[in-house]
Chains A and B, each alone.
Chain A
């Protein structure tokens, strides 16, 4: 028992369990079940919406849009940063546009996006691209400029120039920074897609976890609203703790490259 307690994962699981019990007790005594359902009701609703395929379907829909946006954003970031490290005007362009657009919340572009692309997947993808492009470009660029000069020269010594130098030397050498850019991009994209889908919910379209949450609020299915939030949390945790941890073990840890902040 004491050995188990020494593992951080075990302690964290215990914290979650305590929170759930506190929630259960607090809602049993104090709250209206319509506004704040008990932990058990929520878990039950969660299990039900998983079993009937509703939540997995919506989650898959959200993730598909999100991944499309991230891939497009990453490709654009690669083009921008390649121009930035190979030409001076490219560097100045990147610095100017990132400082302009990085502080702009993606959701603030939603009205414009709806005007330009209409109600549909394209509008969502547009705001996702905006939310991931700038942080990913910024990180990748920082990674590129911090590549040691020796490594750059080694690549030139092998006759590599232009994009061959970028792909062969700069990209892998900057990978710790790129990876942290992808992590930040994921976190931004995940928040943005949920928020953006709620705007769609208002507009009467459908699909996605955000829409699921919003729709159930309309129908006063508070337990399903909580189930939707729970899904958002769980997917976030899984991607962070399984996928990114796995990717780090396979790359930066194996290569002994200190991870960037």
Chain B
């Protein structure tokens, strides 16, 4: 059997932005899918607040990279409301209010009645983020959510995510292959290498929230050095 990840161990603190960084094929997405419960690990365990995770659940909501993660048959409002109804069992009125609040947070109030196919890629990802946050999960799992966006939209989404995190202090586990994105977003960065995936280092990031400052560039170079070894 193919082993994507071997001997990986890490823990994420409450309210932390934790980055899994590595080249494509290093198993970082596999790790995230294990945490999400889509692919239970063949060896070892995943624990959330002391309980072992064995299947997907609304306490760990995933924001995927793919734009087709929205339900095409529901409007923006319907997409955000739906999990509130089925997973949090909120009555219609409460779900509508709660959904509205998070749609406003990502700045899409004017598009609440639009269908996903009428939205741009960036807007779709915003809806997915709003939908995840509305569920109030213990943890937000983000699987390269901005990787399919153009550079400018991507930059704006990164800033917005930082703003959302300031406002909500959600625990975030974020997968990316972009060093620059990792250093901008992560409080701590787990650096992985390929074949099979192994942890090279877990790094505290003093430059979180900074874009192209001296500190941020120095850390980016350091990570490049580690990955180049």
A: residues with CB less than 8 A from B are: 148, 150-151, 153-154, 156-160, 164, 168-169, 172-173, 175, 251, 254-257
Contacts and interface: CB of A to CB of B under 8 A. Distances in A.
Contacts, number: 65
Contact of B117 (A160, A175, A255): A255
Contacts of A255: 72-73, 115, 117
Nearest to B62: A157
B83 A254 contact: no
A154 B36 CA distance: 11
A168 B71 CA distance: 10
A154 B143 CA distance: 13
A150 B73 contact: no
Given A148-B68, A150-B69, A159-B57, 19 more contacts: A150-B64, A151-B69, A151-B71, A153-B36, A154-B64, A156-B38, A157-B36, A157-B60, A157-B61, A157-B62, A159-B58, A168-B86, A172-B71, A173-B71, A173-B72, A255-B117, A256-B115, A256-B117, A257-B73
Given A150-B66, A154-B64, A256-B116, A159 B56 contact: yes
A157 B58 contact: yes
B86 A159 contact: yes
A50 to B, nearest CB: 39
Contacts of B56: 153, 156-157, 159
B87 A159 contact: yes
A148 to B, nearest CB: 5
Contacts of B72: 173, 255-257
6 contacts: A151-B71, A157-B56, A157-B58, A159-B87, A168-B82, A168-B86
Contact of A151 (B55, B57, B68, B82): B68
B139 to A, nearest CB: 12
Nearest to A171: B73
Contact of B66 (A148, A158, A169, A172): A148
B213 to A, nearest CB: 36
Given A150-B66, A158-B83, A175 B73 contact: yes
Contact of B68 (A150, A156, A157, A159): A150
A255 B75 CA distance: 9
A141 B71 CA distance: 19
A164 B68 contact: no
Contacts of A158: 58, 82-83, 86-87, 135
Contacts of A251: 73
Contact of B118 (A148, A175, A256): A256
Contacts of B86: 158-160, 164, 168
